[in-house]
């Protein structure tokens, strides 16, 4: 059931990222809903759901935004793998660790996408990451702070407690 929820949510986030999100900019910063929601869900549900999120959401966004097919999927699968690694190593502090994880991985995925897109479409543009990527990553961290701990806590609450069944 969680894989079906993951697939539907990833497709919905990709659709939102391609349609509504460009209008949600604040002072030139735009959120990366697919990345933030994927990182939150990966920290909460685990690596399998994260990789499914990255692959399906990335392919959907590639088709909707008319990008080279597989470029966003590659970046998101790498990002969700890193989110699973960082989320599993944070232990019981996952609820609060999701915010810095989302910030760091938003920066990393934006930089990786610029390199991948530049490799597939032409030369890598010379950008100033502080002025171009950092505002979006800060926006993503605010979104993760607002939603992330609640999602991780709700997911943990629904899971059965580990222990010996007698």
pLDDT tens string, the chain, 166 residues long: the values are 889 999 999 999 999 999 998 888 888 788 999 999 999 999 998 899 999 999 999 999 999 999 889 999 999 999 999 999 998 887 778 888 899 999 999 999 998 998 888 888 877 667 777 788 898 899 999 999 999 999 988 888 887 766 555 5
Q: Which of 105, 3, 113, 122 is nearest to 58 (CA)?
A: 113
The full DSSP string for 48-103 is: HHHHHHHHHHHHHHHHHHTPPTTHHHHHHHHHHHHHHHHHHHTGGGHHHHHHHHHH
Q: Which of 3, 106, 121 is nearest to 55 (CA)?
A: 3
* CA–CA dist 99, 85 (Å, integer): 15
| pTM of the predicted model as reported, rounded to 2 decimal places | 0.88
Tokens of residue 47, six digits? 């690596």
């Amino acid at each position: 059931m969680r894989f079906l929820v993951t697939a539907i949510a990833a497709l919905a986030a990709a659709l939102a990222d391609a349609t509504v999100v460009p209008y949600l900019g604040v002072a030139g910063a735009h959120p990366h809903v697919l990345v933030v929601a994927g990182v939150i869900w990966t920290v909460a549900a685990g690596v399998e759901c994260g990789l499914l999120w990255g692959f399906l959401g990335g392919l959907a966004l590639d088709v909707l935004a008319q990008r080279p097919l597989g470029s966003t999927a590659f970046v998101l699968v790498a990002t969700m793998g890193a989110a699973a690694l960082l989320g599993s190593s944070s232990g019981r502090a996952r609820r609060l660790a999701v915010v810095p994880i989302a910030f760091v991985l938003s920066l990393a995925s934006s930089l990786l996408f610029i390199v991948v897109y530049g490799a597939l479409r032409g030369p890598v543009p010379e950008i100033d990451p502080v002025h171009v990527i950092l505002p979006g990553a800060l926006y993503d961290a605010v979104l993760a702070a607002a939603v992330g701990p609640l999602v991780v806590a709700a997911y943990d609450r629904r899971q059965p407690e580990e222990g010996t069944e007698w």
